[in-house]
Structure 1
């Protein structure tokens, strides 16, 4: 159903190094694993930078190509302004794309996915000539892109963040519901939530990224060592390529608290689950901690982390500290009280991202203002009014207020249904109940010419996968007018079963049938 019928060839262009870190590569691997589950064949192109961690690509059974560092002059491509992080590439973008093109020509990818702060519209315009779809993963919104999809799951990002930075046809996947998380975090979620019930401070996890160039981990240990109380255990995670690894190990060995130094871990979710508090930096691990609802004290260690971390801390998602004296003060306050619990807006987004990227024609897109205006026009139709059990068309002011409330709600999600880039209808899920393990779905196709065309079936398939794989809900509820025979027939074909349970207050006075489906 709206899924690839043959193996899709996908190439990732991503780097890792002591300067770049490993987060970009890890999130690309996370997405590649999901794409592989759906039948795609993925390759990686990486540059052989100092301290690169390309070996983990091989450990995950993917093929990769290392680009050489040999400098070549190549000015055959037009030049534009260069990105702020341009030096991370260590060659010109012209040389980089020239090297990549040979692999594009050989593998003939249907999709190219690029995750690199040093690459922008210059590189992407050339790469797009060798693939059907080009996808950019970004979280800076500081440069122009030429792409079919833009993925940014930064919790402070919005569609406006990329205004005038991407082409009009670009589909933007923005926000926490698209977060790329490895399967291990999904497996650990329930156990981690259970640990937060008591919220006593007994174990601390310290993680400042794989390379930790400023040796922040050791500075944290020094603060903890001089506290007037002792925790039971400290776990520190770094890479075996961390610059200060030996110094860190020596300091840890003299701690009076049981302190473990872990390198190149493959069980980060387990370590987070077993911790009561994390102390670290921003980056990809921020979203892992939030997903597991692990309370955290964070220190921005890069310029691009300051603004998003500040905004997220203002939402109560974690606490920031600027200095180690401030960290000491915070830890002292936590010892005298329960660690505050957090309510995470981060979802397990990798499955729905991979499905959208592989979808042939029909996709689900975040609703924009033009979609809302088009929906208002659709709702002038008597047929659609009957579908929604309303007697008259909405007033435009009420219509926009309704949609504003809908989009701001934390307990429901709605999407525009697009086919070949054209908005044809809307679909969503509401009344999400994690205790009862159920949620209510709704759908309508506004363009009457597209009824019975398969668009509704394809859209509902994607929504059901979102409910099952991202919201982690197993049962879907639908309410249908008893007189709407086409809709009843549609849901029966999608394996929904009439349910005789009493209707909720919302539908008790309406002529509707409740239908359910176990996913």
Structure 2
């Protein structure tokens, strides 16, 4: 699929990654930037170098990164806005007051003069967007929470169950909304592997289990999952693969736990073939974050854990659609027992795997990035 450009636009992205934020915001922006770059667009990222940032990863894809200074004194002092009662719930993720970030970002954007600014940050809202968007620069927001106002021409919320009414009081009526997993920003590899993945699930039993708790997993849930699996009655020929990011603070602990597993278990880091690995897996145990849509595209049955509040709605909607099994929050006292029970049930019931495959695959075909690219490059 190609898009014909009349001119070559410049598009800027404001997104961060860190041990606290995770990697999902930057990674989905990177998916969009890579697709735009393939169409000849020049993409720039504005990022703050938090602990666990992905700046080198972005640069390795050929995009320019403009690093915003990180003021450790402000971070330690937790001063995140001039009006502490009127800042987004995730204001601390920014690392500086939003006014400071707006001033610093504005200086960079004044030099870049982008046609579009894509904002994917829970700590930013309409006030920041109004300041940084110079005349001629249009704003696209990527959101999941619907908990703050935005000054944007376009807004993407890829979550299942999201509807226009959720943003009725948060954006202008003229704002173009792209809602639901049909528009999820997935790398092309997922749609490319989709047919092969669905084909191999016609007659499947549990032989390959994939564990993905996000790129960071600050609470070391992966080790706890492995501990639970080691006491489960699993098929003797089951193989387990754990995927983690290189910035994950508990990586060594996970590797140690993997060595103690009864079933063969390998830990792989910073993979560049996630779609293939998902395709070759029969079941996933994973967080209910943005990776959910990758699994849905490939029809990969999933047992989901809720690692953060913003994942609760995703898990509930996918469970209701029978596209995955939600065992709830890790804050629950019995999630480990729930996990043990569900894995045993799924292992003994291949039909349940097939039902999840059909329901999950119906939610997205992995072409969502093109609906966004076409809008950005067509002038809206």
TM-score, structure 1 normalization: 0.67
Q: Distance in 1 between matches of 2:110 and 2:373?
A: 24
Q: Distance in 2 between matches of 1:206 and 1:130?
A: 46
Q: Equivalences for 1:76-225 in 2 at 5 Å?
A: 81-225=86-230
Q: Distance in 2 between matches of 1:298 and 1:76?
A: 35
1:149 and 1:170 in contact (8 A); partners too = yes
**Worse-matched range after superposition: 141-150 or 312-321:** 312-321
Instruction: Determine helix, strand or coil for the equivalent of 1:321.
Output: strand
Task: Give the equivalent residue in structure 2 for 1:499.
Answer: none
From 239, 243, 246, the counterpart of 1:237: 243
Bigger relative contact order, structure 1 or 2 (CA pairs below 8 A, ≥6 apart):
2
Q: Distance in 2 between matches of 1:20 and 1:75?
A: 15
How much has 1:150 moved relative to structure 2?
Answer: 0.5
Larger radius of gyration: 1
How much has 1:242 moved relative to structure 2?
Answer: 1.1
2:259 and 2:265 in contact (8 A); partners too = yes
Q: Distance in 2 between matches of 1:334 and 1:169?
A: 46
Q: Distance in 1 between matches of 2:83 and 2:113?
A: 24
Q: Is 1:12 the counterpart of 2:13 in the alignment? A: yes
Instruction: Determine helix, strand or coil for the equivalent of 1:112.
Output: strand
How much has 1:122 moved relative to structure 2?
Answer: 1.0
From 359, 366, 370, the counterpart of 1:351: 370
Q: Is 1:337 the counterpart of 2:355 in the alignment? A: no
Using a 3 Å threshold, how does the CA distance of structure 1 residues 16 and 93 change in structure 2: closer, same or farther?
Answer: same
How much has 1:209 moved relative to structure 2?
Answer: 0.5
Q: Distance in 2 between matches of 1:146 and 1:232?
A: 50
- 1:375-402, Cα deviation, whole Å (9 max, x unpaired): xxxxxxxxxxxxxxxxxxxxxxxxxxxx
1:21 and 1:210 in contact (8 A); partners too = yes
Task: Give the equivalent residue in structure 2 for 1:424.
Answer: none
Task: Give the equivalent residue in structure 1 for 2:332.
Answer: none
Q: Distance in 2 between matches of 1:111 and 1:297?
A: 38
Q: Considering only aligned residues, what root-mean-square deviation do their CA atoms show, in Å?
A: 2.1
2:88 and 2:123 in contact (8 A); partners too = yes
Instruction: Determine helix, strand or coil for the equivalent of 1:166.
Output: coil
Task: Give the equivalent residue in structure 2 for 1:23.
Answer: 24
2:285 and 2:303 in contact (8 A); partners too = yes
- 1:166-211, Cα deviation, whole Å (9 max, x unpaired): 0122111111221110011122111111121112000100010011
How much has 1:8 moved relative to structure 2?
Answer: 0.2
Q: Is 1:47 the counterpart of 2:48 in the alignment? A: yes
1:105 and 1:130 in contact (8 A); partners too = no
How much has 1:307 moved relative to structure 2?
Answer: 2.2
Q: Distance in 1 between matches of 2:241 and 2:190?
A: 18
How much has 1:77 moved relative to structure 2?
Answer: 9.7
Give the length in aligned residue pairs: 360
Q: Distance in 2 between matches of 1:313 and 1:291?
A: 16
Instruction: Determine helix, strand or coil for the equivalent of 1:43.
Output: strand
Q: Distance in 1 between matches of 2:18 and 2:119?
A: 16
Q: Distance in 2 between matches of 1:40 and 1:213?
A: 35
How much has 1:76 moved relative to structure 2?
Answer: 12
Task: Give the equivalent residue in structure 2 for 1:327.
Answer: 339
From 311, 315, 331, the counterpart of 2:317: 311
- 1:45-81, Cα deviation, whole Å (9 max, x unpaired): 0001111111110111111111111368x99999982
Higher share in strand: 1
Using a 3 Å threshold, how does the CA distance of structure 1 residues 287 and 122 change in structure 2: closer, same or farther?
Answer: same
Instruction: Determine helix, strand or coil for the equivalent of 1:329.
Output: helix
2:213 and 2:221 in contact (8 A); partners too = yes
Using a 3 Å threshold, how does the CA distance of structure 1 residues 75 and 81 change in structure 2: closer, same or farther?
Answer: closer
1:79 and 1:122 in contact (8 A); partners too = no
Instruction: Determine helix, strand or coil for the equivalent of 1:340.
Output: helix
- 1:290-325, Cα deviation, whole Å (9 max, x unpaired): 000000000101011112311221111100113011
How much has 1:21 moved relative to structure 2?
Answer: 0.4
Structure 1 gaps of 5+ residues are 364-519
1:3 and 1:355 in contact (8 A); partners too = no
Using a 3 Å threshold, how does the CA distance of structure 1 residues 17 and 188 change in structure 2: closer, same or farther?
Answer: same
From 250, 258, 265, the counterpart of 1:259: 265
Q: Distance in 2 between matches of 1:3 and 1:152?
A: 26
Instruction: Determine helix, strand or coil for the equivalent of 2:266.
Output: strand
